[in-house]
Amino acid sequence: MEPVEERFLRYVRINTQSCAGQEAIPSTACQWDLANMLVEELRALGVEDASVDEHCYVMGHIPANLPEGATAPAIGFISHMDTATETSGECVNPRIVENYQGGPIVINEELGMVLDEEHFPTLAKHIGDDLIVTDGTTLLGADNKAGVAEIMSLVEYLHENPDTPHGPLSIGFTPDEEVGRGADLFDVEKFGAELAYTVDGGELGELEYENFNAASAVVKITGKVVHPGSAKNRMRNAALLACEFAALLPATEIPATTEGREGFFHLGSIEGDVATATLDYIIRDHDRERFEERKRIMEQAAALMNARYGCECVELSITDQYYNMKEQILPHMELVDLAREAMEDTGIEPLIIAVRGGTDGARLSYMGLPCPNLCAGCEYAHGPFEHCSVQALQKISNMLVALVQKFVKPVA
């Protein structure tokens, strides 16, 4: 078998960065490069129906291989191909720090960029591991090419070990997850699974069946332009009103001051001048009631601004993105229980957490495909300090092999 880390290194060198604000799916043409490669590799590994559709969704199916008298449900595994938008994903140049023994790792001396345990405490868990790091100028792409590589290693293992018992398996790779559209055109019926997992989590052992409820909010402010010399009681500076709106939201309920199940308002961007200004927010909370309250807080802020200035100068648009998958997973807790067992059987300590984010699985769970999230081994994603452990990639690949066998049951 090809080592999973070699697959991973091959995939991360392909730029698949998505782009927000595009109508088309995929949002970038470069995502086709990895999609087409994966289809070829799947077919070479015996997945005869592997294909990519007109929107860059890759799917394939592996028929059941069950002993006589056994049964198993159709299980799916899904990862996304695109990488995040905050840091360049072009010309990724990874390197491996072999047998890490602690202490700082200089990832880019010229830029003064260092990985150290003070700022990245999970490094302490990787003593003796081989760490894959960036050169400091790009992200790594372990979110989520680690998941892609691990699923492909599962496919290769089953191809080379035809005696391994398993039920029907569905394999899926999606575009545009990082811009919130990975499930938009996902064909659940074509995928054909009864239950599924996304392999898109963080550090080794993460097992997630709770996530944020999520919405995006766009605030558009219209000013009144008057010459500064005669502006008294006439000018309405949209840029200043934007700052005023932001100040109306709770100052301590932002990503930099929250953790665990604490929700937040996140101002992703702000731009403007005297005439117009725009603020882009995301709203997050695990608790559905508190999530709805956060939306009301923003609505009240907009109403207050409009009342204060006596006009409709503030326009607020809120769009729900996804919801906490927990209520969809609870009727199917065997997904979580069997994943925990598979982790323990392969030497992984399960770490069940409420993810402070979302995955394709959150939306797919509400589309009729219960879909908790498994670790992929990625740590500190979306930036140049992203890294992962070779040993984590290997263990997760082994865990997936163990997991598909957990669903095989003798007929009563």
Q: How many residues does the chain have?
A: 412
Q: Could you count the other beta carbons within 10 Å of the beta carbon of residue 2?
A: 12
Provide the edge-to-edge strand list for the sheet that holds 314-322.
264-272, 276-285, 213-222, 314-322
Q: Which of 5, 176, 177, 285 is catalytic?
A: 177
Q: Which of 82, 176, 208, 285 is catalytic?
A: 82
Q: What are phi and psi of 29, to 5 degrees?
A: -70, -25
Q: Locate the DSSP E strands across 32-189.
A: 51-52, 58-62, 70-71, 75-80, 95-97, 105-108, 113-115, 131-133, 169-174
What is the distance, to the nearest Å, from the Cα of residue 307 to the centroid of all Cα atoms in its chain?
39
215 burial class (0-12, 13-18, 19+ CB within 10 angstroms)?
buried
Do the beta carbons of residue 80 and residue 177 sit within 8 Å? Answer: yes
Q: Is 177 tagged catalytic?
A: yes
CA atoms within 13 Å, Cβ hemisphere of 143: 30
Q: Which of 51, 153, 114 is nearest to 395 (CA)?
A: 153
Instruction: Enumerate the active-site residues.
Output: 82, 177
